[in-house]
Amino acid sequence: MCGIVGMIGNSPVNQDIYDALLLLQHRGQDSTGMATAEASGHLHLFRARGQVREVVRTRDMRALPGAVGLGHVRYATRGAASSEEEQQPFYVNSPYGITLVHNGNLTNTRELTDELRNRDRRHVNSSSDTELLLNVLASELQDTTGPTDLTTDGIFNAVAATHRRIDGAYAVVAIIAHHGLLAFRDPFGIRPLVLGRRRPTPQQLEEHPDAHDEWVVASESLVLENGNYELVREVAPGEAVFITADGKLYSRQCAEHPVLEPCSFEYVYLARPDSVMNGISVYDSRLRMGARLARTIAEHMPVEDVDVVMPIPDSARPAAMEVARVLDIEYREGFFKNRYVGRTFIMPGQAVRKKSVRQKLNAMSTEFSGKHVLLVDDSIVRGTTSSQIIEMARAAGARKVTFASAAPPIRYPHVYGINIPTESELIAAGRTIPEICELLGADHLIYQEVEDLEAAILDGQTDQKLDGLDLSCFTGEYVTGTVTQEYLDWVAEAQES
Amino acid sequence: MCGIVGMIGNSPVNQDIYDALLLLQHRGQDSTGMATAEASGHLHLFRARGQVREVVRTRDMRALPGAVGLGHVRYATRGAASSEEEQQPFYVNSPYGITLVHNGNLTNTRELTDELRNRDRRHVNSSSDTELLLNVLASELQDTTGPTDLTTDGIFNAVAATHRRIDGAYAVVAIIAHHGLLAFRDPFGIRPLVLGRRRPTPQQLEEHPDAHDEWVVASESLVLENGNYELVREVAPGEAVFITADGKLYSRQCAEHPVLEPCSFEYVYLARPDSVMNGISVYDSRLRMGARLARTIAEHMPVEDVDVVMPIPDSARPAAMEVARVLDIEYREGFFKNRYVGRTFIMPGQAVRKKSVRQKLNAMSTEFSGKHVLLVDDSIVRGTTSSQIIEMARAAGARKVTFASAAPPIRYPHVYGINIPTESELIAAGRTIPEICELLGADHLIYQEVEDLEAAILDGQTDQKLDGLDLSCFTGEYVTGTVTQEYLDWVAEAQES
Amino acid sequence: MCGIVGMIGNSPVNQDIYDALLLLQHRGQDSTGMATAEASGHLHLFRARGQVREVVRTRDMRALPGAVGLGHVRYATRGAASSEEEQQPFYVNSPYGITLVHNGNLTNTRELTDELRNRDRRHVNSSSDTELLLNVLASELQDTTGPTDLTTDGIFNAVAATHRRIDGAYAVVAIIAHHGLLAFRDPFGIRPLVLGRRRPTPQQLEEHPDAHDEWVVASESLVLENGNYELVREVAPGEAVFITADGKLYSRQCAEHPVLEPCSFEYVYLARPDSVMNGISVYDSRLRMGARLARTIAEHMPVEDVDVVMPIPDSARPAAMEVARVLDIEYREGFFKNRYVGRTFIMPGQAVRKKSVRQKLNAMSTEFSGKHVLLVDDSIVRGTTSSQIIEMARAAGARKVTFASAAPPIRYPHVYGINIPTESELIAAGRTIPEICELLGADHLIYQEVEDLEAAILDGQTDQKLDGLDLSCFTGEYVTGTVTQEYLDWVAEAQES
Amino acid sequence: MCGIVGMIGNSPVNQDIYDALLLLQHRGQDSTGMATAEASGHLHLFRARGQVREVVRTRDMRALPGAVGLGHVRYATRGAASSEEEQQPFYVNSPYGITLVHNGNLTNTRELTDELRNRDRRHVNSSSDTELLLNVLASELQDTTGPTDLTTDGIFNAVAATHRRIDGAYAVVAIIAHHGLLAFRDPFGIRPLVLGRRRPTPQQLEEHPDAHDEWVVASESLVLENGNYELVREVAPGEAVFITADGKLYSRQCAEHPVLEPCSFEYVYLARPDSVMNGISVYDSRLRMGARLARTIAEHMPVEDVDVVMPIPDSARPAAMEVARVLDIEYREGFFKNRYVGRTFIMPGQAVRKKSVRQKLNAMSTEFSGKHVLLVDDSIVRGTTSSQIIEMARAAGARKVTFASAAPPIRYPHVYGINIPTESELIAAGRTIPEICELLGADHLIYQEVEDLEAAILDGQTDQKLDGLDLSCFTGEYVTGTVTQEYLDWVAEAQES
């Protein structure tokens, strides 16, 4: 889970990159990275642990001059959080000087590590797949361009070769020093990347007659909206876009058989509701998830016994509102969410305390007392939070607790860049719904059907048609077709050690 | 706007103070302060700018040993944010060694400054009224106790003398080195302060036979709830509570004519909904505000034209839900709130940008398109945010926008510790409701009636009876009776310079 | 071992204080402190661990406005280095607001601690004798001045009372907010304090007709010399000097029986050679120590066998040069001193290494090979360094090694502010010179005679006459007359624990 | 002016690198750099501004695991001090992963910059010649090795090619990840580099039977001495040494016409006196400089009038002692040097102060009063310090001041890595000695003859024979033969801008 952005402007972009990262912060809070390039080719990098507004100081911003830039927010997978060497952006100086950020996850890292070391003689100094990706791209750029200067064709050939060598999900933004900004997306379009443009105003042209179009690529469309960029389109699956420092855009389809099968989890949980992704409004798709979930609920239990529908804040709100509307049950918010809770200090000599959900959520007994409450969450992963919430609802006086998930049971690992734990930790892996219901301590448990989730998302298609969705964590079918059980076992083992 | 806490435990309290401050963070995010006392009398202070989880490091916690402690979160009034010398807790070493935190605002600071310097020979090194308050208390302790050792009576006499000398609103927690924890509240009970106890469990007594009761005083009851303290009661207006290091509690009414007329703004906006304050549930009072507001709305406009009721997140949610229920109109959440937005960097050579509400709120067009929306906010202060929200609703496709405020028009300054600007900046000061409506650009504007606000709060009284409420910012009548127009002019001038 | 300075200027003094502390840095490298006062009475404090140029940042300097200021460099005694609460300057706000720095050591701290707590009701929050001293002074100021404003007589009465209450060595500089700069010295003049003045130039008076005399008090005269202040005189033993913000100086003898018996160790080791202290040039006194030592050497050994005289750099250079001149033996520098060595990191899992003198000193074999070398050091404390140096000389080829100390055997603790270890660690305590010589591994060992040290210093007297010297660490006779064996045992125990 | 070190050990080398940098600190105090490599190939870098003991924290040391390491201390040339991007070590990840440090200066940087960008497609992100050097080496390694694994021959071929491409002075240490430590020296041996070995002790072999020889390369021999390494030899001019992680050493002469003509300034000023460089003791060479200078002095002035010989501390001490001995004049130290002086803060609104030599040096009037003093310094560069010193001597009472320089007049820029300013700032450039004498304000001025400096150094040759010395800043003849007037003009212009 990461957010990325790249920009080419008429003036320094550091402030715009900063603002964009604030808007993408929900995609990762563990580290912040930025890079800018000056017209002289000089690159400037910034990397730090923590959220944007906590770690970026004025002097850091001053050290990021240049009208070409990129940024990254990162959600660290376990264990890796502490290492500075895993932080993006990564940089190689040969060839050309390239700095790169990446959202996604590669699934053939073992092969790439071997190739890079033994064939390409490139040193990879971290366990980050992003460093591998950058070096594959660099290696292909080196091979395809040779002693003549870099051409746009050369760049696109290198991206094509990179597509052939790497497996997995990836949306990428890179700066090639002296040349421009490169962005591309995996041939399945698993992770999002959207393209925007800001034309110079007549007033700007009067002051700077050579002002050119300004461009942005970003994980989510709200970055465009907030910066007053017009939405040009999504970067297509497999496509590469290259923008020169003077604002000229080139693009080419670099994959052989591109299809658009984006990750369904963006709609379920990750993306901000005010984003439009692959032409589909995230907010509207969540409303439709609620509507379909309502029907499933009605099929499985006597809804007339339910007194009130409540969301688990914040992401389940749209679905819960729609559940309430369709079932014609009152909608209330009975849980208050504390925004300020963070890590808890454990002082030497004091007992370790169980970090409870209660620090983050509090139940208003007025809303629960004597009622049958229907709680709606976006999804259920480990189940530990859900069971504590159910317990809180009962403690607050609920007569009965029904729990509904806007996503189907999560039974398989997610290998495309969403931080979902290994199979052994998933409450739904290898269990029936009644078994899960009992474990959670709910009176009823209703899950969205896989077909309904699919339809809830795809029903929002506009002129842009999707070829499908990645629903792998619900179905075990991985769109890239290269994920084996042996790989999943290796990942599980690596994460547990 | 500040939050305070004090604790006496059987073991180090630093971690509990830290956890309590996280829960009070909504009362102030500008600076964080803590102090602890060891049995040896040694005091340890920590002060830093910023939120608790951003600024407190493990080594800071290690430097706060001791089973007696207090904490503070602060909302800086303008200009003062930058000064370390304004940060709480304050400390004086004579007499006894006292460290003190304060929530509220004193209104006779000019007189106190003169007295302390010229009569009491005490140096006040900041412009903080808290430093004045501490020195008045210290000076009275010095005078009343003399060369004999400090007695509980001596302490209470000093608090009584302090009540006589200071005007305004104040809830106070202090540590007197070698002696214990002192807490008191102004004679009108304007600012909240609640008392809790945690008795040692049989198991704890087995391990530590001399374990005593543990005590907490805090701005809000949720600190007690979260720490598993039983609610003993509110500290009464004018009352002082003194707890020795071995857990013995003494208390005395130290004011001559105490009345309970707490600040209504705690219920309107400041307090967390899951707090119970002066026996009244904040959440329930907000529901009642919504119910009463609904009736006022129905009196003033044709509600059948309204398609949907929407809250301005987060604090208006309970009122809005109840407006929707009473008027039987659909409740929807059409605004998404960005949690991560902070200050924006302005780089040299770039134009200053207007910091727009749009960075913090975004409207989902699905919910607005073609509809008459009834927006509910907790209150309207300057009106700039409200008018931008109304504009956003229209841009998102709203057919008509009605704006309703759960609080009456704010027409007067707040002098008791809520950060409300001077009269000249208040949109409602000197304007009729139609005039305000036009300025905001709404189709209809409905305010809560003052009587309804009062009733909405007071209807929640339990066994604890209130003598009234401070409604001064709505009515211009200040409960302490010592606020003159000359004072208000002086404050306005000081803030503007 | 500390250095102090105080200043009153016509313009901000922060930069001058900073420069003065750089010049006093040899008196203490463990922490740095500064304070300034504005005309408004506002005090600003800075305290940090480490050397001046390492820890003071531009923003710290900006936060120290005001034309009245003081500064402190500190040599931490063992264990105390880590505590921020021990750092000077200390501050009390009652009465008046006083901030104070101190060079020296009090010997009745146990009594003072009791009195302050039980009689004066003052909290002392550290184990620093400076905090005690400040509170005694504050307490006396409070008692003597009462409700009328502070007068110069009141201040001097308080200093007189302070003299009566405290025992030991102390040179003190304090700022009394709104009033001015106070400096005083113990009744024996054990620690140094010198007074300087800078009259406004005609040019300055033209620009600022109200420019007044600028004043400085400092531990050493070189601060005056470097800042172009004229030397007015030493602050006399027992005398207090008070300077108002507008440059008027008042002074009074506040002790009953003042005598001038300064610490001989300033001349032996602590002071910079370019200082003049109590009218006696430190450099010249070291030359005389060398001359007298030469004669003692000649009495005790056949000097014609010695090939070369060498100093242990840096402080023994003047004495060694004079030894060489008087004995007519060649002077050479065979040891090179590394200026950059500091603490050594010990990594986990690696053996602890003996921190050898060799990292700091290196011997040039050319100068040692086949020679009988006469090594001259300023003094011998523990003897560990000396024995390693002797070993290095032999390893470098020396035929014979004679070791001479410009100071007599150190056999007793130093209780007046020089950091000399407890008796049990002193190589000379309870040993004869032949025994020490054998322990050190020298061929000959010659110590200065106590009478010669005394004469070497006193022979430099000018118009200012001394009543004697504190030679206590050589003789066991303490000038203040209040140091008992019970006290020494208590100190030794406290230091060892 | 830089110091470098590289090590291969049996256990982590971070602490040894740290200790070595402390010993090389005199070669540069502006920034500190370290790198280590783990057996896994993982590289760890540390870079910071400031001296070793000021900037390296325990956590930095913990982040430098691995038994292969290198280090660097740097003297920043003007303007460059502020840039983090100029700090060593530099790193490239292709091919192999190389990190490199460098002492010296390249003189064909303009050609290299062009070649690297246009032919080798390598991005150089700083203005550092070290980054150029690393990229030339990397580019040659890439070309010579191709798709097969790196061999020792491949490495030496790449060094040979690097020699052919770069001009100037360079001593280099690099780590090639997974492979080992590489060190080489320019074909003229201008900058020093010495090789040491530490064989495992029998005891170590007992514990770790596979313990291998440990190796060090360093700028100065004292690093070996201090770490108990035996001196193997100097790295020869043009030679490359490659040491594998398991302690096997390979070496090859990689230059076509190597000669040994080291920089004379190491002996004059830069190196520590306790170093032996190219077989010549630095200390002894300085004694010989003194002896020869004495004879020149005697030829040019009546030495019987001179009362005393004094060094300008610290580096001129050996020469001055020998001048005194040969001329049979008393040797005295009349100047005291302050070790703690650093930058001075200039506060806004205050006049900039002339930073005087007096803050660093102070004259003892006893030693000057009425005397004809012969001051000896190692060299005269700009002359500003010398003239201030002469003024101080006169102010301290000197009757006459003779100034003698152990080095000849510096009339030309130094292009091989010693920080000597451009010609226009050199007091001796284009001036006769009488003219310089007048400018300095001395009564007599005597310079060493160039032949005497040469002989003073070369007379120390042992079995290792030198082909000459670089004396370019005295003679204008540059040993590399590629320094043109056009280049010198370009450098002067670049430095002045």
Please answer yes or no on whether C119 and B41 come within 8 Å at the CB atom.
Answer: no
The minimal CB distance from B123 to the residues C121, C139, C177 is found for: C177
pLDDT at D351 over 60: no
Q: Which of C93, C128, C136, C150 to mutate to test the interface with B (most CBs of B within 10 A)?
A: C93
What per-residue confidence (pLDDT) applies to B353?
46
Section A103-117 average pLDDT:
95
Task: Please say whether the beta carbons of B78 and B87 come within 8 A.
Answer: no
Task: Please say whether the beta carbons of D33 and D101 come within 8 A.
Answer: yes
Q: Which of D113, D125, D155 to mutate to test the interface with A (most CBs of A within 10 A)?
A: D125
Q: Which of B122, B221, B236, B139 is nearest to B183 (CA)?
A: B236
CA distance B109 to chain C (A): 17
**What secondary structure, in 3-state letters, does B344-394 show?**
CCCCCCCCCCCCCHHHCEEECHHHHCCCEEEEEECCCCCCHHHHHHHHHHH
CA distance C179 to chain B (A): 12
Tokens of D88: 């060593």
Give the active site residue among D2, D263, D437, D473. Answer: D2
Q: Find chains touching chain C: ≥3 CB pairs under 8 Å.
A: B, D
Q: How confident is the model at residue D345 (pLDDT cuts 50, 70, 90)?
A: low
Per the prediction, chain C carries an average pLDDT of 92
CA distance D135 to chain A (A): 9
Task: Please say whether the beta carbons of D483 and D107 come within 8 A.
Answer: yes
For the stretch C249-260, what's the b/e string if a residue is b when 16 or more beta carbons lie within 10 angstroms of its beta carbon? bebbebbeebeb
Q: Which residues sit opposite A100 in a β-bridge?
A: A90, A174
CA distance D123 to chain A (A): 5
Using a threshold of 3 CB pairs under 8 A, tell whether chains A and B touch: yes
Task: Please name the residue that has the structure tokens 């056949």.
Answer: C302
Q: Which of A190, A154, A157 is nearest to A172 (CA)?
A: A190
The minimal CB distance from C22 to the residues D22, D56, D340 is found for: D340
Give the active site residue among B2, B254, B263, B473. Answer: B2
What per-residue confidence (pLDDT) applies to B356?
64
Task: Please say whether the beta carbons of D491 and D422 come within 8 A.
Answer: yes
Residue C129 annotated as binding site: no
Minimal Cα distance from D50: which residue of C?
A: C54
Task: Please say whether the beta carbons of A413 and A473 come within 8 A.
Answer: yes
Please answer yes or no on whether B145 and C121 come within 8 Å at the CB atom.
Answer: yes
Section C244-251 average pLDDT:
96
Annotated binding site of B for Mg(2+): 315, 377-378
Count of positions (residues) in chain C: 497
pLDDT at C352 over 50: no
The residues, any chain, with a CB within 8 Å of residue C283's CB and separated by 6 or more, are C273, C274, C318, D336, D364, D366
Tell me A5's DSSP state: E
Q: What is the percent of chain C where pLDDT is above 90?
A: 84
CATH of domain D3-259: 3.60.20.10
CA distance A216 to A199: 12
**Which chain C positions have a beta carbon within 8 Å of D23's beta carbon?**
338, 340, 359
CA distance D53 to chain C (A): 6
**Which chain D positions have a beta carbon within 8 Å of C346's beta carbon?**
15
Q: What is the percent of chain A where pLDDT is above 90?
A: 84
CA distance C110 to chain B (A): 15
The minimal CB distance from B92 to the residues C43, C93, C142 is found for: C93
Minimal Cα distance from B64: which residue of A?
A: A347
pTM confidence score:
0.93
**Which chain D positions have a beta carbon within 8 Å of A117's beta carbon?**
178
Section A173-201 average pLDDT:
97
Q: What Rg do the C-alpha atoms of chain C give, in angstroms? A: 24
Minimal Cα distance from C138: which residue of B?
A: B94
Residue A377 annotated as binding site: yes
CA distance D341 to chain C (A): 6
Tokens of D347: 């506060």
What per-residue confidence (pLDDT) applies to A172?
98
Q: What is the percent of chain D where pLDDT is above 70?
A: 94
Tokens of D463: 């079995």
What per-residue confidence (pLDDT) applies to B493?
87
| Greater pLDDT, A100 or B360 | A100
DSSP class per residue in A118-136: HTS-----SS-HHHHHHHH
What per-residue confidence (pLDDT) applies to C422?
84
Minimal Cα distance from A124: which residue of D?
A: D93
Minimal Cα distance from B275: which residue of A?
A: A364
**Which chain A positions have a beta carbon within 8 Å of B358's beta carbon?**
226
**Which chain A positions have a beta carbon within 8 Å of D120's beta carbon?**
94
**Which chain D positions have a beta carbon within 8 Å of C53's beta carbon?**
340-343
Q: Which of B315, B347, B367 to mutate to test the interface with A (most CBs of A within 10 A)?
A: B347
* D2 annotated active-site: yes
pLDDT at D84 over 80: no
CA distance D217 to D233: 10
Section A391-397 average pLDDT:
96
Q: Find chains touching chain D: ≥3 CB pairs under 8 Å.
A: A, C
Section A1-23 average pLDDT:
95
* Segments of A86-229 assigned E as strands: 90-92, 98-106, 168-176, 180-185, 194-198, 214-218
pLDDT at D145 over 70: no
The minimal CB distance from C332 to the residues D58, D222, D321 is found for: D321
Lowest mean pLDDT among A198-207, C339-348, C452-461: C339-348
Using a threshold of 3 CB pairs under 8 A, tell whether chains D and B touch: no
Q: How confident is the model at residue A318 (pLDDT cuts 50, 70, 90)?
A: very high
Using a threshold of 3 CB pairs under 8 A, tell whether chains A and D touch: yes
Minimal Cα distance from C342: which residue of D?
A: D53
CA distance B150 to chain C (A): 9
Please answer yes or no on whether C15 and D347 come within 8 Å at the CB atom.
Answer: yes
Q: Which of C28, C31, C61, C27 is nearest to C44 (CA)?
A: C61
Enumerate the domain spans of chain A: 3-259, 282-338+357-466
Q: What is the pLDDT of residues C90-108, one digit of tens each?
A: 999 999 999 999 999 999 9
Q: What is the pLDDT of residues D363-393, one digit of tens each?
A: 999 999 999 999 999 999 999 999 999 999 9
pLDDT at C353 over 50: no
Tell me B268's DSSP state: I
Please answer yes or no on whether D125 and A92 come within 8 Å at the CB atom.
Answer: no
Q: Which of C190, C105, C102 is nearest to C415 (CA)?
A: C105
The residues, any chain, with a CB within 8 Å of residue A66's CB and separated by 6 or more, are A12, A13, A14, A36, A37, A38, A39, A42, A44
**Which chain D positions have a beta carbon within 8 Å of A142's beta carbon?**
94, 121
Cis bond upstream, residue C95 (ω within 30): yes
The minimal CB distance from A339 to the residues B226, B339, B362 is found for: B339
pLDDT at D344 over 70: no
Section D439-468 average pLDDT:
96
Q: How confident is the model at residue A107 (pLDDT cuts 50, 70, 90)?
A: very high
pLDDT at A161 over 50: yes
Minimal Cα distance from A284: which residue of B?
A: B366
Residue C186 annotated as binding site: no
pLDDT at A286 over 50: yes
Identity of the residue numbered C461: Q
Q: Which of B204, B340, B352, B360 to mutate to test the interface with A (most CBs of A within 10 A)?
A: B340
**Which chain D positions have a beta carbon within 8 Å of C325's beta carbon?**
330
The residues, any chain, with a CB within 8 Å of residue B192's CB and separated by 6 or more, are B171, B219, B220, B234, B262, B266, B271, B277, B278
Chain C interface, Cβ < 8 Å to B:
41-43, 92-98, 117-125, 135, 138-139, 142, 145, 147, 149-150, 177-178
What per-residue confidence (pLDDT) applies to A440?
97
Q: What's B282-338+357-466's CATH class?
A: alpha beta
Q: Which of C94, C91, C40 is nearest to C70 (CA)?
A: C91
Dihedral sign from CA coordinates of C16, C17, C20, C26:
negative
What per-residue confidence (pLDDT) applies to C325?
96
CA distance D89 to D34: 7
The residues, any chain, with a CB within 8 Å of residue C154's CB and separated by 6 or more, are C141, C144, C145
Task: Please name the residue that has the structure tokens 């097969």.
Answer: D148
Q: How confident is the model at residue A253 (pLDDT cuts 50, 70, 90)?
A: very high
User: What number of C-beta contacts closer than 8 Å exist between A and D?
Assistant: 81
| Greater pLDDT, A305 or A497 | A305
Task: Report, as ranges of residue numbers, the positions in chain B whose pLDDT lies below 50.
Answer: 78-82, 348-353
The rounded Cα C481 to chain-centroid distance in angstroms is 21
Annotated binding site of B: 315, 377-378
Task: Please say whether the beta carbons of A15 and B346 come within 8 A.
Answer: yes
Please answer yes or no on whether B350 and A281 come within 8 Å at the CB atom.
Answer: no
